Homo-oligomer: A and B are copies of this chain.
Amino acid sequence: MMVRAISCAAALALAVIIAAQPVASPRAYAQDPKVSNFKLANGLEVVVIPDHRAPVITHMVYYKLGSADEPPGKSGIAHFLEHLMFKGTEKNPAGRFSQVLGTIGGQENAFTTADYTGYYQRVPREYLAQVMDYEADRMTGLVLTDAVVLPERDVVLEEYNMRVANSPEARLGEQMSAALYLNHPYGRPVIGWHSEIKKLNRQDALAFYRRFYAPNNAIVVIAGDVAPDEVKALAEKAYGAVPRREDIETRARPEEPPPVAVRKVVLDDQRVAQPSVHRYYLVPPYSTAKGDEAEAIDVLAQILGAGANSRMYRQLVVDKRLATNAGASYQGSAVDATKLALYATPQPGVALPDLENAIDAVIGDIVANGVAADELERAKTRMIADAVYAQDSQASMARWFGTALSTGSTVQDVLTWPDRIKKVTAADVQAAAKTWLDKRRSVTGYLVKSPPGPEEKRS
């Protein structure tokens, strides 16, 4: 229900839209993959992940910019610019490359988050050089005219309607994020506020483009049937020609003050098919957490709410029969203070405050009594196994590294993640719950069907 990552493709008949999965944590490459990485002279970071199962490669460019880096009043410009990045350059007019991809059965996609913007292609290995040329070209060569910008803004506004305006769940998520963050721009939706999106223009897009798109603000991740030396030679040739930009600013974002108040948001909408309770806690991400605190929070979220063996599922759905579903997730990959999110959908007839109290009881139990040894081991084993299974997907592998590197973690951090998870103790998990699942750090959200009239009480 959180619109943290927006994925979209060029509005071309041949383009294939692949939904970007939210990346919950810098999941590890658990088996030794001989991942290598290097930096070009112009500052571009390159990561190579060999995967020789098929003669295909996945190529991703991550730019270290997201909606949290937008200037005030220009919300949505990061995502809008991502759309406009398909509008062509002098060398590659709009649509030409997508057509090539279509012909060879390739795929492309793009996504915007609060912290990074990414572009993705999956092609037969012999097309790697061409993909690189294309991405290197649009890194600084984008050409925009009002004739292409204004209609694309309508596309984005339509996307807003589809994703947010017509989705009470998304609206509640938007409202809860705004309530969770008092000052930090993570409080603003990645897609932007409607009133601001509709005013974005060519000038805004180009100003943002020139500020952030440069080799020294980008990471290229290549997973697939290639050798590091080969990639290095190709990257030097294609990307090496793009000049470094000296004036790239480090991201200086407004700081989030320490949370002090318990917050609640109630959204009632006649279109709600299923009421639900949500909670966001403000917690540190992997990139800034002290010691192995992020790993403990990750395990805590797993124990609390991942799957049918989780505490929330067992207690709320199975034992107490208050909910039909319940879960938790931790958005560990972020530059700044992030979220641990809980949700539960009530059984018919169960009041949301009762369900909320039951969620509080699940948390209170972990805070007071900690977690069991077998439960801890099961959670950790599952997390590491999930990471191993996910290696079956080239895109997942590329995404782990791209996400990690664009949010302040390193290749080494990703590679050592399973070892750090293995070291998390029951005491660590209990301490994390005590410290971070303090209700004063949180926003609770109720999604309610059919609003009462203005005379009736709503709280």
Contact A73 B255 (CB under 8 A): yes
Cβ of A213 under 8 Å from chain B? no
A262's partner among B72, B171, B265 (CB-CB below 8 A) is: B265
A179's partner among B252, B263, B266 (CB-CB below 8 A) is: B263
Contacts of A368 in B (CB 8 A): 455
Chain B residue at minimal CB-CB distance from A353: B459
Chain B residue at minimal CB-CB distance from A178: B182
Contact B267 A264 (CB under 8 A): no
Contact A182 B187 (CB under 8 A): yes
Contacts of A178 in B (CB 8 A): 182-183
- Nearest CB in chain B: distance from A9 CB, A: 27
- Nearest CB in chain B: distance from A201 CB, A: 13
Cβ of A21 under 8 Å from chain B? no
Contact A267 B257 (CB under 8 A): no
Given A261-B265, A367-B454, A356-B459 contact (CB < 8 Å)? yes
Report which residue of A175, A253, A261, A264 has the largest number of chain B beta carbons within 10 angstroms of its beta carbon. A261
Cβ of A53 under 8 Å from chain B? no
Q: Whole-angstrom distance between the alpha carbons of A367 and B263 in the complex? A: 27
Chain B residue at minimal CB-CB distance from A457: B360
Contact B357 A254 (CB under 8 A): no
Chain B residue at minimal CB-CB distance from A368: B455
Contacts of A194 in B (CB 8 A): 257
A-B contact pairs, 27 of them (CB 8 A): A72-B72, A72-B254, A73-B253, A73-B254, A75-B183, A75-B254, A171-B260, A175-B182, A175-B263, A183-B196, A195-B255, A196-B255, A260-B267, A261-B266, A262-B267, A262-B459, A263-B264, A263-B266, A264-B459, A357-B457, A360-B457, A364-B454, A367-B454, A438-B454, A439-B454, A439-B459, A440-B451
